[in-house]
């Protein structure tokens, strides 16, 4: 590993991560919305330099769906990006999960996706993870139906400041 001397604004080379903020959620959230609804997972970060970028990543520990052929969509809103993926069902989204299980109640999947934002300022930028389905009930952090064999998952939304 290289050694770096930190002096002034040229302290770190491009690509270095100099700040990390993480928000986690362990509780189950459900929605029947066919447009983006918040999962309750939000993270804020303030860049130290206006030329730096923010890499935002969602790690979804589990999601479930009440109908086996319905799609569960996720996106991240906030920052200078109005929405990752446009936020329209059937259109580009940050991530989509489509179960093909015979048992509609107990299938569950995990997802991960991210993007770079270039705020161009040193103001606080807030990002929110949203979810929705084209039909049925969507579960975040758990399968659709709970029983003795199902527990909640852990999901996180992470924002890293990256030197540019």
Over residues 2-17, the pLDDT tens digits come to: 444 344 455 788 999 9
- What is the distance between the alpha carbons of residues 161 and 49, in angstroms, rounded to a whole number? 9
Q: Is residue 90, in this structure, part of any structural domain at all? A: yes
Q: What is the pLDDT, as a whole number, of residue 6? A: 45
- What is the distance between the alpha carbons of residues 119 and 146, in angstroms, rounded to a whole number? 41
Q: What is the pLDDT, as a whole number, of residue 109? A: 74
**CATH code at position 129:** 2.60.120
Q: What is the pLDDT, as a whole number, of residue 128? A: 92
Of all residues in the chain, what percent are helix, strand and coil, respectively (each to 5)? 0, 45, 50
Comparing CA positions, the residue from 133, 136, 61 lying closest to residue 105 is: 136
Convert the pLDDT of each residue in 39-82 to its tens digit: 999 999 999 999 999 999 999 988 877 776 777 888 888 887 65
**pLDDT at 159 exceeding the cut of 90:** yes
Q: Is residue 69, in this structure, part of any structural domain at all? A: yes
**pTM for the structure as a whole:** 0.82
Comparing CA positions, the residue from 61, 84, 65, 62 lying closest to residue 74 is: 84
Query: How many beta carbons lie within 10 A of that of residue 24, not counting itself?
Result: 13
**pLDDT at 28 exceeding the cut of 80:** yes
DSSP 81: B
Q: Is residue 72, in this structure, part of any structural domain at all? A: yes
Instruction: Give the three-state DSSP class for 98.
Output: coil
**pLDDT at 92 exceeding the cut of 60:** no
Q: Which residue has the higher pLDDT, 141 or 163?
A: 163
Q: Is residue 98, in this structure, part of any structural domain at all? A: yes
Q: Is residue 145, in this structure, part of any structural domain at all? A: yes
Which residues constitute the domain of residue 40? 24-111+123-162
Q: Is residue 18, in this structure, part of any structural domain at all? A: no
How many domains are there within the chain? 1
Convert the pLDDT of each residue in 111-149 to its tens digit: 888 888 888 999 999 999 998 888 888 888 877 666 666
Q: Is residue 7, in this structure, part of any structural domain at all? A: no
Structure tokens at 20: 């990390």
Comparing CA positions, the residue from 163, 157, 26 lying closest to residue 79 is: 157
Q: What is the pLDDT, as a whole number, of residue 2? A: 44
Q: What is the pLDDT, as a whole number, of residue 70? A: 76
Q: Is residue 39, in this structure, part of any structural domain at all? A: yes
Q: Which residue has the higher pLDDT, 96 or 85?
A: 96
């Amino acid at each position: 590993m290289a050694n770096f001397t930190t002096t002034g604004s040229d302290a770190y080379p491009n690509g270095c991560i100099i700040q990390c903020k993480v928000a986690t959620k362990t509780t189950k959230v459900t929605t029947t919305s066919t447009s983006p609804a918040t999962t309750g997972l939000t993270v804020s970060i303030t860049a130290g330099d206006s030329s730096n970028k923010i890499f935002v990543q969602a790690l979804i520990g589990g999601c479930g769906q009440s109908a086996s052929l319905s799609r569960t969509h996720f996106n991240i809103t906030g920052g200078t990006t109005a929405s990752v993926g446009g936020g329209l069902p059937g259109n580009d989204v940050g991530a989509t999960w489509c179960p093909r299980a015979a048992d509609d109640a107990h299938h569950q999947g995990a997802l991960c996706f991210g993007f770079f934002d270039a705020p161009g300022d040193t103001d606080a930028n807030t990002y929110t993870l949203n979810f929705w389905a084209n039909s049925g009930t969507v579960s975040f952090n758990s399968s659709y139906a709970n029983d003795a064999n199902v527990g909640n998952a852990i999901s996180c939304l992470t924002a890293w400041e990256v030197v540019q």
